């Protein structure tokens, strides 16, 4: 029997990108996994998301409201309207399986699978499972994990640590080969530092890098490429005085990862997965207000595995970053070892293995 699969990938890029990666595999290996049709279910406000402008399959848009206490009286009616629309849309397309990528926007698809007894699979990107995963894991046939989790919430359910699915356009051309091995040679004068604040940017990271570049020794030994986020580009550009390459956003991250020797970033699961497949050492500055503090847990896992160092700070003080960079410049073997640890943690085939786990053939 062939499956009609819906991927609920709605909230943020951290949910959308791995969902698109799974859709790519389902489309490309349709006959292998006995798939008839594939759909993505996403929020209307994500129509400008780069991964959904030219998606691998049809996107079913919805406007599921996010619960806010101030609107608690009208929320049930808004939710009910969107859920009824979801039911008719899914029944029209004969959905047989739902893959939930997490986030509140996946709720209508998950409820549909439960109420109409369709196959339900969940993907959890972070070391601390999100509310959707914690609430509905007992209804799922299988749960695919990106990292080992600390909370013992899957004792009674089948789960597997596979890795975070990565889009085809991001995957390195030379698989399983150490990325930029020669760039960690101590004879090289300049090391390239890629700074990622996420699609919305991070003022703290932007300002920290600009201050770091004011250090004369840093400016001589490192080159920075700073992805500011669209909303913070002009502000950061106007503040910049040093030799920093400032970009608002990049739709094609592969050249940036190939250029980099070191990454400075938040610790969202998507960024971590992409840096790992390129074998990149990381300086992680977790976003302190992330739900359940999951970025801190993600960062600590990668640091404990020897692939990153963490700066726990909400200020733009450059001192910790300057210290790490100068230490690595004088001790390139440490940086090289971190790169190998990074590559060891990666799973470039996570998307294919996740689909194989959900739909064994």
Q: Is 356 known as a binding-site position?
A: no
The SS3 of residue 149 is coil
> Phi then psi for 195, rounded to 5 degrees?
-115, 125
Q: Is 159 known as a binding-site position?
A: no
Cα-based distances in Å from 353 to 140, 268, 350: 18, 21, 5
Tokens of 24: 């790519």
Nearest to 341 by CA among 299, 312, 311, 305: 305
Q: What is the CA radius of gyration of the chain?
A: 21
Q: Is 212 known as a binding-site position?
A: no
Q: Is 126 known as a binding-site position?
A: yes
Q: Is 135 known as a binding-site position?
A: no
Beta-ladder partners of 283: 264, 309
Beta strands in 9-154 (DSSP E): 35-43, 58-62, 97-100, 119-124, 142-145
Q: Is 220 known as a binding-site position?
A: no
Q: Is 182 known as a binding-site position?
A: no
Task: For residues 229 and 237, give the distance between their C-alpha atoms in angstroms, rounded to a whole number.
Answer: 11
Cβ atoms of 49 and 16 closer than 8 Å: yes
Q: How far apart are the first and last CA of the chain?
A: 12
Cβ atoms of 309 and 284 closer than 8 Å: yes
Binding residues for UDP-N-acetyl-alpha-D-glucosamine: 12-14, 126, 167, 199, 295
Binding residues: 12-14, 126, 167, 199, 295
């Amino acid at each position: 029997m062939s499956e009609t699969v819906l991927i609920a990938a709605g909230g943020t890029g951290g949910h959308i990108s791995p969902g698109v990666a799974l859709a790519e595999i389902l489309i490309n290996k349709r006959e292998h996994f006995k798939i008839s049709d594939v759909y993505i279910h996403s929020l209307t406000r994500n129509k400008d998301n780069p991964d959904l402008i030219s998606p691998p399959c049809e996107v079913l848009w919805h406007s599921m409201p996010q619960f806010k206490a101030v609107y608690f009286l009208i929320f049930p009616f808004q939710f009910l309207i969107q859920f009824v629309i979801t039911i008719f849309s899914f029944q029209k397309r004969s959905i047989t399986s739902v893959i939930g990528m997490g986030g509140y926007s996946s709720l209508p698809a998950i409820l549909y699978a439960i109420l109409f007894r369709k196959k339900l699979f969940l993907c959890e990107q972070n070391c601390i499972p999100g509310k959707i995963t914690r609430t509905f894991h007992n209804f799922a046939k299988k749960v695919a994990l990106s990292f080992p989790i600390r909370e013992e919430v899957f004792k009674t359910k089948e789960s597997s640590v596979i890795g975070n699915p990565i889009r085809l356009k991001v995957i390195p051309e030379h698989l399983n080969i150490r990325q930029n091995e020669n760039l960690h040679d101590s004879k090289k004068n300049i090391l390239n530092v890629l700074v990622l604040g996420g699609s919305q940017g991070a003022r703290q990271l932007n300002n920290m890098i600009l201050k770091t570049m004011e250090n004369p020794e840093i400016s001589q030994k490192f080159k920075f490429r700073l992805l500011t986020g669209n909303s913070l580009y002009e502000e950061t550009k106007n503040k910049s005085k040093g030799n920093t390459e400032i970009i608002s956003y990049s739709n094609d991250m592969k050249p940036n990862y190939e250029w980099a020797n070191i990454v400075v970033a938040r610790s969202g699961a998507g960024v971590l997965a992409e840096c790992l497949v390129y074998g990149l050492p990381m300086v992680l500055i977790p976003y302190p207000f992330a739900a359940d503090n999951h970025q801190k847990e993600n960062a600590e896992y990668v640091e404990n595995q020897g692939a990153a160092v963490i700066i726990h700070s909400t200020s733009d003080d450059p001192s910790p970053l300057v210290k790490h960079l100068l230490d690595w410049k004088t001790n390139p073997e440490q940086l090289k070892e971190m790169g190998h640890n990074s590559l060891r943690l990666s799973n470039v085939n996570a998307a294919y293995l996740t689909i194989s786990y959900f739909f064994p053939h």
